[in-house]
Chains A and B, each alone.
Chain A
Amino acid sequence: MKRDEVPGMTHDLIVIGAGPAGMAAATTGVELGLQTLLVDEQPSPGGQIYRNVTGCDPKVSALLGTDYTRGVSLAQRLAASGAEVLHDTLVWDVARDLTVTALHAGRAKQWRAPQLIAATGAMERASPLPGWTLPGVMNAGAVQLAIKSAGAVPAGRVVVVGAGPLVLLVACQLLDAGATVAAVVETAPASNFLAAARRLPRALRAWSMLAKGLRMMWRLKRARVQWFTGAEEIELLGKDAVQAVSFRAGGVSKRIDADHVLLHHGVIPNTQMSHLLRLEHRWDDRQLAWHVVTDAFGQTSLPGLRMAGDGTAIAGAYAAEASGALAALGAAQALGRIDGVALAQRVAPLQRALAVQLAIRPFLDELYRPPKALTLPRDETIVCRCEEVSAGKIREMARLGCVGPNQTKFFSRCGMGPCQGRVCGNVVTQLLADELGIPPAEVGAYRIRAPLKPIPLAALAALAEEAPTQTVNSVAESEHAE
């Protein structure tokens, strides 16, 4: 606790993010008698996986299936719980003393609770390929969001390029939605399948997933979608918009015309907030991403701050529900609002559910592992899209003497644009690690500062009257001892 004047606590529990983890956390918090606030940037609950689930057209929901409509019951439980929910709210700062600062309807708002659960979710891994900045090139997940939020699909010829189960799923969903899928270009090397197969016995659910995968493959085959595996030397071609994809597969050079190219190489935790708070992370070599270090109840290295769901490590939407509920239970316990017996009773089924989801992770992680060409792109490929910094420039910075992303950022401007390193960060860490010959864990990540997203100068200036002595996001002297 800082010695400065601190604002009073406004709630028992604040939850950031209304995806499955956040919804479960908030609902559970209220059930346990905690005065709970849930804030989210979107206009309705669901996060990304259940985006617009309460407003989606029935025909579209049916197309997306039960994996999507699951979100409806979560949203209904949330609505019924009586939790205070504030949508269209952009959290742009979270302090080390857990004060949350946000922008809502153009006005600055602040809240504080002794327990905070950040359920900020995942984002797609960047797929830096030559030409990936061209209009018409999107993430596969983006198209799913267009379907969910607006019932819209790309017109014209679509080519899906990537690795992992979502590649097939999106291609099938597009077909179901009446889009034209010209080709699926898998970048996964054949070795992924072999490595994944080794994980099969440990994950019973893997068999049903495999069956699902086979059904999708058969669907695409019937629709005469061209199929390529182990594709290399992929380039997206076009002048002001994408026009074609070229690649080599099976020893043959191919070029496929496309109006839209969808890229996908898995999802990774969105660690912007967790790095803002300087939480302890570890680099996961299987998911090739930063994971937030937490205990079984989501408690991070900052007391009172818990994280749940895919924002900590990728485990999927069902795991996120259990993870959110566990975090809320942990919060209640920390506040002395639940006894040991009641806690144990509630925890057991959640941990079982989580274990089932986690059991399949090794299998999926191998299937999703991106090829080196994607994590270590060619020199001419743009890595930082905002500032248009190429992989070659980043390698040059390493040779100049930069030993981490922050010096690299300072010298090349990569990571300085509006996205503040969300898209490029993961690739930059891996590029530097490779060039310097040191592990990614040692390379580190971008130092993130408030605001989490750009805010108008006036919104910041407005706080000058309201909170004159507040200290936020500061690391205590002892933590930074020289």
Chain B
Amino acid sequence: MSTHTEADILVIGGGVVGLSLAYGLVRGGDRVVLLDEGDDALRAARGNFGLVWVQGKGLGQPAYARWTLKAAAAWPAFAAELRERTGIDVELSQPGGLTMCLDDNELAERAAQLQRLRGEVGPDYPYDVLDGDAVRRLLPQTGPAVAGAVHCAADGHTSPLRLLRALLQAYEDLGGRYVPGGRVEAIAHRAGGFEVTTGGATYASSRLVLAAGLGNRTLAPLVGLSAPVKPNRGQILVTERLQPFLTHPTLYVRQTGEGVIQIGDSKEDVGYDDATTLAQLSRIAARAAKCFPLLEGVNIVRTWGALRVMSPDGFPIYQASTQCPGAFVVTCHSGITLAPQHAGPLADWIRGGEEPQETRGFKAERFDHVPTH
């Protein structure tokens, strides 16, 4: 027995990208259906570290750096809006963030990268380099092994867990339909619209957004698009709850609103394997202990492995299909940071508005000279 549902816009993928877009679309008055997989799907969103991070992003692609800066600036209003609608506080905090460096070479290298970035984006690009003493003045718990850090006043963090829940709730409260537990079996493009089949049900709409993370790889060609994304694994350690002490998030260590310390991070090319490995976990633990020696006796309660969605150059793919007008692909690996932009200007574009200036360069054609495997 099959059901048939009509909508204005179909969004495929219920992670932070899909939910941000779906929320933005339904907020604008569209009838939206969001299709999502089941409980044990890979879900990059569930493995997210929670950073709302500016520093270091967009090296060689100033448009991306600007897109990121705008996102960080839009975050407070976004969080307030979600709180207003759902009562959920996503625990956004933007006190500035640090990337700790354990030796002078690392610090110099990182500082040089940011200097180049400033050169590309403009003199207002926010960052400064702190030596070890300055870091320890800012974060007294920092260990002696830390040689210095790059600090960016625009950096912050939020709770991915609360964000996703708030987005889903806000989306549903506005009439958005959420259909979990299935996989897309077929996408047909006919009569200026799209028909998606999943689990015996069909969904028809005039616009279709692919926000399925790694799933975009196989879905995109079905609508004349390309999303050559690959998995990149990151592993995370999570501690028991602690009294608040870490005032600023760092790239690899942050303290959540619940008091738990999250410690990352790895970047592994291991295929579709989201398992945790002692090799990486121990390396991550050792690094964290060097940065914050007082964490040595703290208990690790659980660990996590998740697959990021990586394009060949690490930058997003934002593209409208010419072959199948009305179809879009959206993929990135900073879904948390960019959430307000996805809910705002990007959703407006999908709805038929103007494409944001900053996203125009992120088409899949840029990979054509690169062998994709």
Contacts and interface: CB of A to CB of B under 8 A. Distances in A.
Do chains A and B directly touch (beta carbons under 8 Å) in the complex?
yes
Interface of A: 93, 95-96, 101, 400-407, 410-411, 413, 416-418, 420, 443-444, 447, 449-451, 454-458, 460-464, 467-477, 480-482
B337 to A, nearest CB: 19
Contacts of B161: 410-411, 413
Main secondary structure on chain B at its contact with chain A?
mixed
A100 to B, nearest CB: 11
9 contacts: A93-B278, A410-B161, A418-B299, A444-B39, A450-B278, A454-B300, A455-B299, A460-B285, A477-B273
Nearest to B233: A474
Contacts of A472: 275-279
A474 B282 contact: no
Interface of B: 14, 36, 38-40, 46, 161, 164-165, 168-169, 172, 178, 180-181, 214, 218, 237-240, 258, 263, 270-273, 275-279, 281-283, 285-286, 288-289, 295-305
Contacts of B279: 467-472
A462 B282 contact: yes
Contacts of B297: 456-458
A416 B165 contact: no
B277 A400 contact: no
B272 A450 contact: no
B282 A460 contact: yes
Q: Which of A455, A458, A472 has the most CB of B within 10 A?
A: A458
Contacts of A455: 299-300
A401 B180 contact: yes
B113 to A, nearest CB: 26
Contacts of A418: 240, 299, 301
Contacts, number: 146
A470 B281 CA distance: 11
B335 to A, nearest CB: 15
Nearest to A448: B302
A457 B40 contact: no
A464 B165 contact: no
A102 B277 CA distance: 15
A402 B39 CA distance: 7
A417 B295 CA distance: 18
Nearest to B166: A411
A450 B303 contact: yes
B277 A471 contact: yes
Nearest to B281: A460
B39 A463 contact: no
A462 B40 CA distance: 32
Given A443-B39, A444-B40, A456-B296, A474 B273 contact: yes
Contact of B40 (A406, A456, A471, A481): A406
A254 B273 CA distance: 55
Given A410-B46, A456-B300, A463 B40 contact: no
Contacts of A411: 161, 164-165, 168
B273 A420 contact: no
B292 to A, nearest CB: 9
B289 A457 contact: yes
